[in-house]
């Protein structure tokens, strides 16, 4: 099994069709058939792909975002698009992809990683906790909203503690 670290631009030349097929099956509600998963969100800082032979069996991407936490600008990581092909699930691959993302974010001195979980249970063993604080973000209709976002989770990547205060995401969720 091979872990490929790439960017959106490089992916187009390499494995785009296989990755989009995996994402389309994993997120049928958000990606239309033959749709482009990445067009739904901002461009990720890094894309990680698990490949076995010719098959793409896992994916996740990480974003870098300058947010405002308790009035202080801070660059944090956001993880999205965590997907593992059905036959390979429940073998720790999803957790491995998240841990590799944390390595990438730590190398860039990001104190926190956040994500928006459909199933929060999946991320507990990777150190994520459900947020209790409100978050200001731009919703899909373009309006700015502030509330405790359902399924929003944070992980502390350094000695800095997550402040239980309003987070201005300064953009949309991923």
Ligand X SMILES: CC(C)(COP(=O)(O)OP(=O)(O)OC[C@H]1O[C@@H](n2cnc3c(N)ncnc32)[C@H](O)[C@@H]1OP(=O)(O)O)[C@@H](O)C(=O)NCCC(=O)NCCS
Short-list 44, 160, 52, CA closest to 101: 44
CA pair distance 24, 38, nearest whole angstrom: 11
> Residue 130, interface with ligand X (CB under 6 A)?
no
Residue 37 contacts residue 24 (beta carbons within 8 Å): yes
Among 53, 87, 121, 140, binds ligand X (CB under 6 A): 121
Among 11, 15, 19, 26, binds ligand X (CB under 6 A): 26
Q: 78: helix, coil or strand? A: strand
Instruction: Tell me: does residue 57 bind ligand X (CB under 6 A).
Output: no
Q: How far apart are CA 4 and CA 56, in angstroms?
A: 10
Q: Are 3 and 47 in contact (CB under 8 A)?
A: no
Least distance (Å) from ligand X to the CB of residue 95? 3
Whether residue 116 contacts residue 151, with contact meaning beta carbons closer than 8 Å, is answered with yes
Stretch that binds ligand X, among 28-36, 39-47, 48-56, 79-87 (CB under 6 A): 79-87
Q: Which stretch binds ligand X (CB under 6 A): 41-49, 66-74, 78-86, 133-141?
A: 78-86
Q: Is 92 in the site for ligand X (CB under 6 A)?
A: yes
When binding is defined by CB under 6 A, the residue of 76, 79, 84, 169 that contacts ligand X is: 84
Residues that bind ligand X (CB under 6 A): 26, 82-84, 89-95, 117-119, 121-122, 125
């Amino acid at each position: 099994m091979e872990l490929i670290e790439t960017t959106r631009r490089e992916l187009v030349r390499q494995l785009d069709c296989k990755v989009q097929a995996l994402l389309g099956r994993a997120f049928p509600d958000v990606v239309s058939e033959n749709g482009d998963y990445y067009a739904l969100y901002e461009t990720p800082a890094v894309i990680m792909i698990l490949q076995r032979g010719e098959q793409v069996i896992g994916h996740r991407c990480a974003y870098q975002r300058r947010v405002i936490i308790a009035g202080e600008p801070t660059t944090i990581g956001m993880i999205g698009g965590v997907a593992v092909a059905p036959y390979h699930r429940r073998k720790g691959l999803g957790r491995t992809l998240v841990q590799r993302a944390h390595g990438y974010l730590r190398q860039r001195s990001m104190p926190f990683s956040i994500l928006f979980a459909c199933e929060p249970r999946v991320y507990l063993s990777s150190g994520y906790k459900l947020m209790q604080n409100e978050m200001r973000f731009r919703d899909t209709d373009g309006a700015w909203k502030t509330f405790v976002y359902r399924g929003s989770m944070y992980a502390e990547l350094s000695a800095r503690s997550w402040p239980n205060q309003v987070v201005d995401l300064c953009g949309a969720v991923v």
